[in-house]
A and B are shown apart, each in its own frame.
Chain A
């Protein structure tokens, strides 16, 4: 296994295709601005930035920065990718690749696209001002680890999976901030959402058609419409210990079947805390504070409401006032949620 140093003058695609690069080699990129699209058709190649200024600039003419086709064990680490037309990094087929600590901005379509590919690790990337931040499509895009990424200010969704046949993808500790549509818009079965945050997106977290997904410890706040949404066609969904606050419509909007909501904290939302159009959901041990017009609005059927703690608004307290105080003063929530009319 070799470490191969390269510069912006190197044709990386040609180098990887040549006999000079073998599986297991590390390609170490010198700092500088690269103007190229890199195709990686060989397994177990690691492309690593030597410093923080390894920049791939597509100058709004090139289509993509990196394309991994039917490969396993390829890593892309530490690149700064900007101004490509369709994708920053694309994984098409294959499995078990690693995209780590890349900064991707100003891509007209998708920051990171995973198409028909599973068991990849997408960790600690920062994506901003793209169409969608991270998109999973096609049947084989299952069992991926999407961990500790930040997607902000995209003009569509932060994190998105569009096929109902996708399954078992894990979204852990990601942040979606100020995206124009939904922070997390995910179809499929048996997905895990753990400790993610959605802040100031149009919609916070949308669990679309699919079954048996689990959401624990997520925080959704400041959505322009609903905070946490379980859509029609979503079956046997579990949500526990999530916080949904200061959303302009419902804190949790459940339209699914046989869901379970346990120990969630839902506060200061402006179209009910729980808005239930669901069938057969169990809503138990949740804490609801000052949601208007009511903490729980159940117009569904056969839902069970057990032992929820409801606190109405204090005199002179309203979600709009409390939340505006929060966001205007940029204080942390523990302080700003104490806001009262003065």
Chain B
């Protein structure tokens, strides 16, 4: 698998997990949500870094 495919695969997996995690946020007790939102924002930052890497290829 070449680098472009590899990064695309990571991007797809991470995008899907971020979306699913946002969808299930309501099931999470309210007192835990701020940390989940923080974690998801970090994921989005990493996703953006991967997308940037992908566009350079």
A252 at the interface (CB under 8 A from B): no
**Are A62 and B32 in touch, CB under 8 angstroms?**
yes
Q: Considering only CB atoms and an 8 Å cut-off, how many residues of chain B contact the other chain?
A: 29
**Are A86 and B14 in touch, CB under 8 angstroms?**
yes
- The residue that B17 contacts in the complex, of A86, A137, A163, A164, with Cβ under 8 A, is A86
Does more than half of chain A's interface fall in helix, strand or loop, or is it mixed?
loop
* Alpha-carbon gap, A156 to B14, bound state (A): 13
Given known contacts A108-B17, A115-B46, A181-B1, A61 and B28 CB-to-CB distance under 8 angstroms = yes
- Mark B4-33 against chain A: 1 for CB-CB distance below 8 A, else 0: 001101100110011011001001100110
**Are A37 and B17 in touch, CB under 8 angstroms?**
no
Report the nearest B residue to A233, measured CB to CB: B3
Given known contacts A37-B35, A61-B24, A187-B3, A85 and B42 CB-to-CB distance under 8 angstroms = no
Q: Considering only CB atoms and an 8 Å cut-off, how many residues of chain A contact the other chain?
A: 34
**Are B14 and A67 in touch, CB under 8 angstroms?**
no
* Alpha-carbon gap, A2 to B37, bound state (A): 31
- Mark A43-75 against chain B: 1 for CB-CB distance below 8 A, else 0: 000000000000000000111100101000000
| 21 A–B contacts, CB within 8 A, in A order | A11-B31, A39-B35, A61-B24, A62-B28, A62-B32, A67-B38, A67-B42, A85-B21, A86-B18, A92-B42, A92-B46, A109-B14, A156-B13, A162-B6, A162-B7, A162-B50, A162-B53, A181-B1, A185-B6, A187-B3, A209-B3
Interface, chain A (partner B; CB < 8 A): 11, 13, 35-39, 61-64, 67, 69, 85-86, 90, 92, 108-109, 113, 115-116, 131, 137-138, 156, 162-164, 181, 185, 187, 208-209
Closest 3 CB pairs of A and B: A63-B39, A37-B35, A64-B39
